[in-house]
Structure formats: structure tokens, C-alpha cells
Amino acid sequence: MLIQIDKLKRRPRQINIAELATNFPALRDLVEQGTVAFNKPINGTLEAIWAGDVIEVSGLLTTVVTSPCSRCLIPVLDQLEVQVTLCYSSREDDDEVPVVEELEIEQSELGLIPLSGSEIDLRPDLAQEIVMALSQQPLCQESCQGLCPVRGCNLNQDRCDCEPPVFHAGLAALKSFKVK
């Protein structure tokens, strides 16, 4: 997943990706934390082109993930399609910064990733794109009822007769409290 910048200047490059998610350190961390499981490798085709000051890498990555429903914790399957557009710039921050209405625009504000060295390692940036595409609060269904707070019954499936917790001590204190 390395791009040699000198070679890219001579001709565009197509990069085929078929790689286990656990080969990406940022994704492996999420898997180890139990946040998400990857049912399929990360697949896709990217094209890298050199366009003067900027190297653009774009394409589509797909995979299938499973993550626990944020309310009832049952596994939720999600087909991920991640449209990737990464722009790398070799320009130094302090020379020839584009000027718009006398405001200097920093590279990072343009979404440009600064380049250092003679090659680009796509791995961390692709992992970041995939992390951002993951649902923050996956739901098995919009109307998921979640779990009962007493014994954790799945309220979508189980009839829950659990007594709601009663805070007797709290109630007693409330009753004796008089507003003067």
C-alpha cells in the first residue's frame, strides 16, 4: 500500500486492495475493543494520480461489518461502502499559500495531507476513512426498545415482567420533606 511518488509522476497507478482489516492497526484496535467485527476483508480499487503539487488517491472501498446495537447489543450487520478521496500535497506550508480575500488558507483546512519523503503509505489514511464511515450508534432497527434495566431482557423479543427498581429509602425521604 505504498506509492512511490517518482513513479507516479510518470504515470497514474491503480491500486487493488484486498486486505484483512486486522492488517490496519487502527481497525485492529477497534476489533480488539469489541467495537466492531469485520466479516469480510477490505476490498476495492483506488486510482492514484499526480497532478502537479497534489497527489490524489480516490476510489471505493467495501467491506461488511458487524457491531453491537447501541441499545439492545444484538449484532447488527452493515455493508460499508466508503468513497475515498485523499489529497496529498508536497507543498511546504509556508511557501505560496493560496490567498483568498487576504486570508491565508492552511493546507489542513483544504483537506490536504502533507507529504514527507519519497513515498506515501496509504494504510493509516485508508483506516481513518473506514473508521469515519462506521456508524457511531448502530441500531438493529430505528424503533429498537433496548434492554430492560432490571435483568437486561431484550424488550424487542421478551415479555418483561421485571419489577422496576423502587427506591424505598428515597421515597420515604421525599414524603418527610415538607415545603415551608
Q: How many CA atoms lie within 13 A of 44 on its CB side?
A: 22
Q: Could you tell me the smallest distance in angstroms from the CB atom of residue 99 to Zn ion? A: 51
Q: Could you tell me the smallest distance in angstroms from the CB atom of residue 21 to Zn ion? A: 23
Q: Is 153 in the site for Zn ion (CB under 5 A)?
A: yes
Phi, psi angles (nearest 5°) of residue 72: -110, -5
**What would the x/- binding string for Zn ion be over residues 67 to 106, using CB under 5 A?**
--x-xx----------------------------------
Q: Could you tell me the smallest distance in angstroms from the CB atom of residue 134 to Zn ion? A: 17
Spatial distance between the Cα atoms of 40 and 7, rounded to a whole number of angstroms: 31
SS3 of residue 160 by DSSP? coil
Between 55 and 153, whose beta carbon lies closer to Zn ion?
A: 153
Q: Compute how many other C-beta atoms are within 10 angstroms of the C-beta atom of residue 180.
A: 2
The answer to whether residues 112 and 89 touch, using CB atoms and an 8 Å cutoff, is yes
Binding site for Zn ion (CB under 5 A): 69, 71-72, 140, 144, 148, 150-151, 153, 160, 162
